[in-house]
Structure 1
Amino acid sequence: MAQQWNVQGLDEAITAGAADLSTVEWSAAVADAATGDVLWSHDADRVLKTASVGKVFLLIEAARQAETGELDLDEPVQRLPEDLVADSGLWHVLDLEALSIRDACALIGAVSDNLATNVLVRRLGIDRIGDTGRSLGFTASALLDRVREDRGPQHPPTLSRGNAAELVRLMADLTRGRIVSPAVSARVLGWLALNTDQSMVAAPFGVDPLAHTEPDNGFVLRNKTGTISTARIDIGVCDVDGGDGGLAWAVLANWSDEVDLRDAVLERMTAIGAELRGALRQTVTDRPVAG
C-alpha cells in the first residue's frame, strides 16, 4: 500500500513571508522516493541555473564508468594549472598535486570541490557526461561545462541547468536504484551522503552537517546543493531511520543581481524543509504498533 503523505502546507511554505520575492524564479517539486510519484510541484518544468547541482551528473558518469571497467576509481589524477579555480572546495588549498578519482568524487560530494570537478571533467569528458545524462532521460538538466572564474561568450552561459521535474526524479531514481544500476545509484548516494551544506531545504532535519553518512537525529539524508550569487538550489532525499524510501525534493531559486534575495529565499527553502520533516515524522506516528 502506498504511503500517504501530508504535504498540504508546501504551497504556503514557498509563497509566505514578508519579503517581496515576486522577482524570484522558482522551480520546485516533491516526490515519494519509493514510487517516484510527484506529490507537489511549483513551476516544475521551468529550466533554471543550477550551479553546482549539475556535478551530480559527473558523479553518475564516474560511477558508471567504474562499473563497466572503463575507469579505475583508484587511478590518480593530476591537477594542472588550467584546472585551478578558487571558491568552493578544499583541494585548491591542499599541497597534494594528485588524488585518486575516488577521493576526487568524495570531495565533490562533500564540499562541491571545483578543482576536483575540473580535473574529472577533463578526465571523463564533458560530452560523455552529457550523453549518459540524456540516455537516462534528462534532457533539460545537465552539467554543461567545467567551472570557470571568467565565463565569456564562447563558453556555455552557466555551469549547469535543470528543472525540478527532472531533478526530483533523479533523486527518487537514485533511491530506487534506477540510475544506471543499483550499484551505481548506491555509489552516487554514498558520495552525496558526505555533503556538508545543510543550509537550505535540509536545514530543518537537524542532522550533523559533518557526519551523517549513518542515520542521524532519526533521519537518513542525502543531498546536493548549488550556490551562486543569484541562485540557491537543493536536491535531495530524506527518510526516517528504518523507513523505506522517504521524500525526494528539488527546489531551485534564481533571481537577478539587482537585489540580493538570498536571505528571503533561504527562509522559504527552510520552510519547505520543515514541511517535509513534519510529513516524515507523521509517518512514524502513523505506523501500527507491533504486537
Structure 2
Amino acid sequence: MGSPPPPEPVEGTATLRRSQRSRTRRLPRRAAVGRRSFTSTMRALEELADAGAQVSVHVKDLDTEAQVLTGDDHVTLPIAGLGVVPLLIEVAARFEAGTLDPLEIVDRSSTDAVTTSGVWRNLRTPVLPLTDLATLAAATGDPIAVNILLQQVGHHRVRERIESLGLRRTAILDRFRDERGPDDAPQVAVGTTRELAGLFSALVNSQVVDAAVSVQVSEWLSLNHDLSLVAASTGLDPFSHDHDAHGLLFINKTGRDRGVRAEAGVLAGPRAGISYAMVVGFDDLSIAHRLRVHDAFRTLGVELMEYAH
C-alpha cells in the first residue's frame, strides 16, 4: 500500500529517516524538546537500519502534543498482536452499548485451535465469558481469545471502528493461525507508529469512542504481562503494575512474530507523560539478530524513563 511523504519535523523534534535506496545514509540528530535527547535510541535504530532492518518509531509528549522522536512513522509495517487494540476498542464499545453481553459464555472449540502459543489452551476450562476473553487478549495476547472475540464482533465491524477512529493505515487482516497458507493474509495486522502512538494518547485522554470505553480498554491493557521490550526499563512488576509505588502510569501492548517486534504504549511520570510506538522488521536469522532488536527497544525504554521521571 502506498505511503504519503513524511511531514517536515517540528522544531525540537529528534528525527530518524532511512533512505529506501541506500542503507548507509546517516541519520540526523537533534535535542528532544529541549529537555532530553534520544541519541542512544537513534544510534541503535540506525545500526539496525544499516543492517537491513525496517524500523519505525514515534514518540509524542502527552501535555504539549510535541513530537519528541520520529522515524519513518508514516510507513505501514506488520505489527502482529499489537493489532488487538482496535479489536478491544470495538469489544468495549459493544459492551457499553449493550449489543454484546460481557457475561456471554463461549466455548474455545467454536474456533480453530491455535497450538503454538497462548494461555487458554493450557487451562482445563473449555468455556469462558467474553469479558474474561478480553482480559486474556489484553494481558497475554492469547490467540484463541483474540480469534473468538474477532468472530463475535465481526471483522467488518472492527474495520468500521478503525475507520471511525481515523486510522487510515492500520488494519486487522486475519485471525491468528498455526500456519499461513497461500490463500491466507500474510500478516495478522499492520499499522504505522504514528497512528498507534496517537491511539494510545487518545485512550489515556478518554478520547476513544467515549470516556467509558477509553477507561475500559486502558484497564485491560494495564494488565499486560509482556514487559520485556520497552517496558523492561521501567522496573515494573509484569503481574502487578497498575498501582506503582513510584508514581508511574504505564499501559502497553506488544506484538511478536517471526521477524517482527512491535510495541506501543503510554508512560507517565512526575516530569512528563509520553505516548510511544516502535516497530522493527528484521531477518530473524539467529538469537544474536533477535537480541540486537530487543536491545534497541530497551534503549528506547531507558530514554523514555529519563524523559518522564
Quick one: distance in 2 between partners of 1:113 and 1:160?
A: 15
Cα drift, residue 274 of structure 1: 0.5
Q: Is it true that 1:209 corresponds to 2:238 in the alignment?
A: yes
> Do structure 1's residue 121 and structure 2's residue 147 form an aligned pair?
no
Q: Give the Å deviation of 1:78.
A: 1.6
1:141 aligns with 2:161: no
Question: What secondary structure is seen at the aligned counterpart in 1 of 2:242?
Answer: coil
The answer (yes or no) to whether the contact 2:120–2:144 under 8 Å persists in 1 is yes
Instruction: Pick from 153, 172, 181 the counterpart of residue 201 of structure 2.
Output: 172
CA contact (8 A) 2:223 2:240 kept: yes
Contact 2:229 2:294 in 1 (8 A): yes
SS at match of 2:90: helix
TM-score of the superposition, structure 2-length normalised?
0.84
Deviations 1:208-233 (A, max 9, x none): 11101222443111000011120111
CA distance in 1, matches of 2:240, 2:140: 13
TM-score normalised over the length of structure 1: 0.89
Unaligned 5+ residue runs, structure 2?
Answer: 1-31
Letter in 1 for 2:86: F
In structure 2, the partner of 1:158 is 187
Q: CA deviation at 1:254?
A: 0.4
1:18–1:174 Cα change, 3 Å? closer
Change in CA separation of 1:145 and 1:69 when aligned onto 2, cut-off 3 Å:
same
Query: Unaligned regions of 5+ residues in structure 1, if any?
Result: 282-291
Match among 53, 60, 77 for residue 106 of structure 2: 77
Within the alignment, does 1:254 sit opposite 2:254 as a pair? no
Instruction: After TM superposition, give the deviation of residue 56 of structure 1 in Å.
Output: 0.7
Q: Tell me which of the two structures has the higher relative contact order, counting C-alpha pairs closer than 8 angstroms and 6 or more residues apart.
A: 1
CA distance, structure 2, for counterparts of residue 182 and residue 7 of structure 1: 31
Q: Secondary structure at the match of 1:39?
A: strand
What is aligned with 1:228? 257
Q: Does residue 13 in structure 1 map to residue 41 in structure 2? A: yes
Q: Percent identity?
A: 32
C-alpha deviation, 1:21, in angstroms: 4.8
Runs of at least 4 residues off by over 6 Å: none
Query: 1:34 deviation in Å?
Result: 3.8
- Offset of residue 19 of structure 1: 6.5
